[in-house]
Amino acid sequence: MPTSSYDLILLGDELAGLVAAALCARRGMRSLLLGIDERPSRYAVGPYKLPLEPLTVPRGPAIDRVLRELNLEHTFKRKLRDGRCHVQLVGPDQRIDVSADGQIMARELGRELPGAAGEAMAQAWNEACELARLADPLLAGDAAFPGVGFWERREVARAADRAAADAEAWWARTDAALAGSPARALLQLPAALGGVAIEPGPLAIARALDGWRAGAPSLRGDLDGLVELLVERVSSASGEHRGGEATELGFGWSKITSVRTGSGEDYGVGQVLAAMPAAEMIPLLGKKAPKKLVEGSHDLALCGWRYTLNLVVDQSGVPEGMAPVVLAVVDPDAPLTGANAFSIHLGEPDDHGRLVVTVTAIIPAPGATPGPASNGAGDADVDVAAAVDPVWQATAMRQVRAALLDNLELVMPFLGEHVVLAHSPHEAVAPVVPGGRGGHEAPRGLPVPMRPLWRGAIEHGAGVAAYPYQTGVKNLTLASSQVIPSLGLEGAFTVGWGAAKVVCALAGKKRDYLKDEVVSV
């Protein structure tokens, strides 16, 4: 028999699920966070703290809505390193300073891309910002996206199909106007490096362009800072956070009634949130795994991983005028993956004039081929067995690391002369020290697996949604990056709010959590 019972239990540690749990707790549901990953988002190499992955925050209504409901607006603002963030797009012969001012941006594009290409890119960017705002009601409206229930699905479908059609028409015009120009790849960079791998869909491109143009500052503490805020909100609303992973789910009347952990603890439960890939829920459900969940997990394609490489660099190695965030492409005609497209995030110099430079890139899964996220083109050939092969992954990481160090010289000339050490958190090896000098020991607690990137398509998903909230089990709701994989942090907050709405609506058959007063803190 369960030793204690909860209205809601969160399984897994993806951000979207944690957002949903915090919202549900604040709306009055007694919640339990089970097995939240306590690994810090930074690790130590000698005196340096290196990030597992940089976190930038493109503010928008989907994020602001959650922060407002959780009363975290001012706290969150204080954690931002800067209210705005200077961003540059870098191509073979271009360095474009992104500005929120349309006229300044147009002049910048005209300087770096003279003639018709610069004018077409400026127009495309302005149209993208307008298009992105037209999608605000879809991502931050009263209805969950993707829609749930007959009436809501019908309402959301109309808005989603409209947004998808407008985005596809915009990109078709842009694609034709920029054919053969590096501007096409430069427009795709913010979405390609911030969301889905291989090639983002039109709406994802528009949202990313609007977010980066408005400024996307980094967060102090990286993901840890955000997780701490959300866990604190659950705790302050009488929720709990306990260690241990779920090993078995108990059923009664086609619903999950209990969650058992590896330590033998048994918890009764009313609703379950799955903050993990759909396929990871199937072993927990055993023979009770519904056909919808099994088939749906097969429709999702693993298309790549987010790779991180940290460098400690002498400040003199940073070119004058380089922005804190740079999005770069080497060959605009090649896929925006591997070392061909990467982001550079500059830290603050320390007392010795050294700073951490974090580079991120996408390692495509074996067999993944370029294709729009809206139709999943090319995903059928992905070799999943090879994709999870550690030997293949180790080889791919070595290759992309070597290529990144070469390609970084195109953005930061003579960088190699200023690198103090280089290390990736995905490899349990000692940091590379140039010149063969004595270095540091291999950091503890590594390697950290690369973050997987997913692709899929569901009807009326506007080209950005890949999986529904419903799993086929009445009280099991999916709240992971697989629901909206291509919108980065904005997608996680959209999914978190939508999943909370679904959970509260189901629980509301006995108690209307959506209409109860928010629990004060």
Report pLDDT digits (tens) over 72-110: 988 888 877 665 568 899 999 999 999 888 888 888 999
Amino acid at 433: V
Residue corresponding to tokens 């603002």 = 77
**429 and 484 share a domain?**
no
**181 and 235 share a domain?**
no
**407 and 488 share a domain?**
no
* pLDDT band for position 317 (cuts 50, 70, 90): very high
| 39-53, 340-354, 377-391, 476-490, range with the lowest pLDDT | 377-391
β-strand 301-314 against 354-364: which pairing, if any? antiparallel
β-strand 338-346 against 325-329: which pairing, if any? antiparallel
The rounded percent of the chain whose pLDDT value lies above 70 is 89
pTM for this predicted structure: 0.91
Mean pLDDT of 229-256: 90
| 14-23, 222-231, 380-389, 480-489, range with the lowest pLDDT | 380-389
Higher pLDDT, 166 or 444: 166
**259 and 164 share a domain?**
no
Please give the pLDDT value at position 211: 86
Prior bond to 447 cis, omega within 30? yes
**427 and 313 share a domain?**
yes
Please give the pLDDT value at position 468: 94
Boundary of a domain, candidates 407, 436, 452: 452
Boundary of a domain, candidates 149, 181, 213: 213
Question: Would 178 be classed as within a structural domain?
Answer: yes
Question: Would 335 be classed as within a structural domain?
Answer: yes
CA atoms within 13 A on the CB side of 65: 21
Boundary of a domain, candidates 172, 187, 213: 213
Residue ranges making up the domain that contains 379: 301-452
- CA R_g for the chain: 23
Please give the pLDDT value at position 435: 59
Helix (H, G, I), strand (E, B) or coil at 504: helix
In whole angstroms, how far apart are CA 217 and each of 58, 77, 96? 7, 10, 18
- Mean per-residue pLDDT over the chain, rounded: 86
CATH number of residue 270's parent domain: 3.50.50.60
* pLDDT band for position 363 (cuts 50, 70, 90): very high
**313 and 418 share a domain?**
yes
Q: What end-to-end distance do the CA atoms of the chain give, in Å?
A: 33
**308 and 441 share a domain?**
yes
| Strand ranges, E, within 266-407 | 266-275, 301-314, 325-329, 338-346, 354-364
Q: Into how many domains does the chain fold?
A: 3
**442 and 479 share a domain?**
no
Within 113-180, residue ranges assigned H as helices are 116-134, 136-140, 150-177
Please give the pLDDT value at position 436: 53
Q: How far apart are CA 346 and CA 60, in angstroms?
A: 24
Question: Would 72 be classed as within a structural domain?
Answer: no
Question: Would 77 be classed as within a structural domain?
Answer: no
Question: Would 83 be classed as within a structural domain?
Answer: no
Distance from chain centroid for Cα 197? 11
* pLDDT band for position 1 (cuts 50, 70, 90): low
**pLDDT at 302 exceeding the cut of 90:** no
Question: Would 409 be classed as within a structural domain?
Answer: yes
Question: Would 69 be classed as within a structural domain?
Answer: no
* pLDDT band for position 380 (cuts 50, 70, 90): very low
**pLDDT at 364 exceeding the cut of 60:** yes
Please give the pLDDT value at position 376: 37
Q: How far apart are CA 355 and CA 317, in angstroms?
A: 10
Supply the angle between the helices 116-134 and 102-112 in degrees, to the nearest 10: 140
**pLDDT at 370 exceeding the cut of 60:** no
Tally the residues of the chain.
Answer: 521
Q: How far apart are CA 163 and CA 161, in angstroms?
A: 5
* pLDDT band for position 326 (cuts 50, 70, 90): very high
Please give the pLDDT value at position 226: 85
**353 and 394 share a domain?**
yes
β-strand 31-34 against 240-242: which pairing, if any? parallel
Q: How far apart are CA 510 and CA 408, in angstroms?
A: 58
* pLDDT band for position 375 (cuts 50, 70, 90): very low
Neighbours of 45 (CB within 10 A): 21
Q: How far apart are CA 41 and CA 36, in angstroms?
A: 13
Question: Would 92 be classed as within a structural domain?
Answer: no
Do 484 and 467 touch, CB atoms closer than 8 A? no
* pLDDT band for position 263 (cuts 50, 70, 90): confident
Distance from chain centroid for Cα 426? 18
Q: Across 54-63, 392-401, 507-516, which has the greatest mean pLDDT?
A: 392-401
Q: How far apart are CA 266 and CA 250, in angstroms?
A: 9
**332 and 417 share a domain?**
yes
**418 and 476 share a domain?**
no
- For residue 273, the cross-strand partners are 10, 477
**356 and 366 share a domain?**
yes
